[in-house]
Amino acid sequence: MDLNPAEFDQIAREVFAPVYPVIADQIKNKTCITKGICLDIGGGSGYLGIALAKVTELHVYLFDKSPEMLEIAARNIAASGLDSKIQTLPGDVRNIPFDDQSIDLVVSRGSIFFWENRPKAFKEIYRVLSPGGCAYIGGGFGTPELQKQITEKMLKNNKDWLEMVKRNTGKHNEETFKEELCSAGIPRFEIIRNEKGLWIFIRRVN
């Protein structure tokens, strides 16, 4: 299902909209990080970053390699009235333009399944995490009820939707992530696979 940025934003806005505030709350509750700098990798049109900015005091960078997506994100930020708390930033997860140990929270929903050279990406994420900083990365729909609602809507236009979800959040990817995180030298991590989706949780202790 190949989508241009405008189509992607439309689906995010019209189908996935209820998911972002739920995941933002889950991230806040899991990490207990509500201040500092947040990097939303593959932030797309910005809805998760906007949801996090609404429920925390974080300054959020929406980080994406697509200039078109960042243009849409900039419009969404302006519409949210959160210009002072969120800004866009172009770039690639394999080369994050921040100093060592300078980011308090790294998040990403959905983009990890498209990253090239994930071990290098994990190394970069860990490099920029501050002591006590956390990463919450993966994919999910917030709750089983929301997943059911989204699945019903997505199947109307994408017969391969269920297969794609299974491919992204299945048991095989859980094992793959573990291997890649170990290969990247990440000392401590947690793979969370439940009704909320498949997520990687990292906390840097020093």
Model confidence at 195, pLDDT cuts 50, 70, 90, reads confident
Cα 42–30–16 angle (5° rounding)?
45
Residue 203 is predicted with a pLDDT of 97
Q: Give the contacts of 135 (CB within 8 A, at least 6 positions apart).
A: 105, 106, 107, 125, 126, 129, 200, 201, 202
Which structural domain range is residue 164 located in?
Answer: 5-203
Number of domain units in the chain: 1
Model confidence at 169, pLDDT cuts 50, 70, 90, reads confident
- Percent of the chain scored above 90 by pLDDT? 89
Model confidence at 2, pLDDT cuts 50, 70, 90, reads low
Model confidence at 157, pLDDT cuts 50, 70, 90, reads confident
* CATH number of the domain bearing residue 143: 3.40.50.150
- Percent of the chain scored above 70 by pLDDT? 99
Ramachandran region of residue 4, left (φ > 0), alpha (ψ -120 to 50) or beta?
beta
Residue 9, pLDDT > 60, answer yes
31-48 pLDDT, tens digit each: 999 999 999 999 999 999
What average pLDDT does this structure show over 107-115? 95
Provide DSSP, 80-91: HT-TTTEEEEE-
Query: Rounded to two decimals, what is the model's pTM?
Result: 0.95
What's the mean pLDDT when you consider all of the chain? 95
Residue 1, pLDDT > 60, answer no
